[in-house]
Structure 1
Amino acid sequence: MTKAIEINGLTKVYGNGRGISDLNLDVDQGDIFGFLGPNGAGKTTAMKMMAGLLRPDRGEVKIFGASIQEDYVNAMKHVGCIIETAESYPYLTANDNLKLFARFYPHVDQQRIDECLEITGMIKYKHEKSGKFSLGMKQRLGVAATILSKPRLLIWDEPLNGLDVEGMLEMRRLIKQLAGEGTTFFISSHLIHDVELTCTRIGVVYGGKLVNTDYTHNILANYASLENYFVSEVDRNGRI
């Protein structure tokens, strides 16, 4: 079975010494992989390289067996991404924003756009301009855009950003629903509790290094909570 993501020796170091160094990681199809780490740990840098938005100093990323560097179009064919913030055109309505994205996918019609607006709780704002939206609503619209084409892999950087409690619960439900339908997830977050409730497997990044990966059920068999595990991993790596 092809791995959803294979990362080998991925490295990008900035002038200030920050970045990510020698990242090696496989994500299986069907995983809901949680990428945990404090701000500045290198999560977004790694995800930008995975999405082909940033050229690594060295190393390689393969998605469903296709190399991001050598075969970008095929690698990204089945991927939906939100990196940093969900972008939209402020002067267009929610519906028109999604119609614009839908042009890239021949099989996405208005019915599918409505479906995605419904799934993300945005259908009632269908004809409102996104410039008036709150951060949480923009985030929901961004999520709707990433699932339009029914991708096999979703790479989401801080998807719960700006969401209220109800929005977070809905997002967790959506992730579990899509995972049940066969979608693989790679999610970065600093909201440890939500990762614990959502992700099947966890990787901890600290100081630009991947310090550990394990299945959530293994971690919770040995620690009272994911937060306890995270603190002990960061402690063990001696730079808290």
Structure 2
Amino acid sequence: MEKVIEIKNLTKVFKNGRGITDINLDIHRGEIFGFLGPNGSGKTTTMKIMTGLMKPDSGDVKILGHSVLEDFEKAMEKVGCIIETAESYPYLTAYENLKQFSRYYKNVDDDRINEVLELTGIIKYKNEKPRKFSLGMKQRLGIAAAILSKPEVIILDEPLNGLDVEGMLDMRNLIKSLAERENTTFFISSHLIHDVELTCTHIGILYNGKLLNVDTTRNILNNYASLENYFVSEVETNGKV
């Protein structure tokens, strides 16, 4: 299988001692990888390094064969992402925001903008400004922007943050559909165990800045009653609880 994301010996430790240590991970095309861990475990730090927002102390990340550190533009050329919060221009409408973002890409026309608005469930709000949106609506708009260019890799930091039950179901179905129909590769961080279990094909547990284990969701659920049981077992096995 084709490696799409390669993380090698990635380390970033802050002055307070928190961060990530020696992360190694391979993610293949079409996988929906869930980066599961409690708040403060290092998920966002890893994703910031993956997207060039932060430099590691050591190690490297390659996306589609290109180093984020040495060939950033090539590495990010076919990547869509949301890190921490979905940002938008509050004085522009949802449609105008996506129109503005479309200027960064080739072959993104009005049809594609309307398509992603439909896919994320905000087509009827296309002429409203996001300053009036709820957190969940802003998140939907951010995801629309992330998938606008039909990226091969999508990196989402807590993508279900702020969504109601219907929104969570919509986003879960959208992620699965893109992975299945377009072979899109997803890297998703979350602390919501149940949603990771229902969404992701592969799961890695990050705890206190260390990657404890990586396995397929199918294997995990064949051996444990739930992902929660697996998580507790892995943490206890590694002597952290």
1:11-50 map, 5 Å:
11-50=11-50
Cα distance in 2 for residues equivalent to 1:13 and 1:189:
21
User: Which ranges of 4 or more aligned residues in structure 1 deviate by more than 4 Å?
Assistant: none
Query: What amino acid does structure 2 have at the position aligned with 1:164?
Result: D
Aligned: 1:176 with 2:184:
no
Query: What amino acid does structure 2 have at the position aligned with 1:42?
Result: G
Query: What's the counterpart of residue 165 of structure 1?
Result: 165
String of CA shifts for 1:101-154, please: whole Å, max 9, x gaps.
100012101110000000000101101011110000000000000000000000
* DSSP 3-state at the match of 2:108: coil
Cα distance in 2 for residues equivalent to 1:207 and 1:234:
10
Cα distance in 2 for residues equivalent to 1:155 and 1:218:
24
Offset at 1:232? 1.1
Ranges in structure 2 where 5+ consecutive residues have no aligned partner: none
Cα distance in 2 for residues equivalent to 1:131 and 1:92:
9
Contact 1:31 1:201 in 2 (8 A): yes
String of CA shifts for 1:164-216, please: whole Å, max 9, x gaps.
00000001100111001210000001111111111000000000000000011
* DSSP 3-state at the match of 2:225: coil
Query: What amino acid does structure 1 have at the position aligned with 2:147?
Result: I
Offset at 1:65? 0.4
Query: What amino acid does structure 1 have at the position aligned with 2:49?
Result: M
Contact 1:60 1:67 in 2 (8 A): yes
Query: What's the counterpart of residue 208 of structure 1?
Result: 209
Cα distance in 1 for residues equivalent to 2:88 and 2:4:
27
* DSSP 3-state at the match of 1:4: strand
Give the TM-score normalised by the residue count of structure 1: 0.99
Aligned residue pairs, count: 240
* DSSP 3-state at the match of 2:3: coil
How well do the aligned residues superpose, as a CA RMSD in angstroms? 0.7
Offset at 1:238? 1.9
1:35-74 map, 5 Å:
35-74=35-74
Contact 1:116 1:148 in 2 (8 A): yes
Percent identity between the two aligned chains: 71
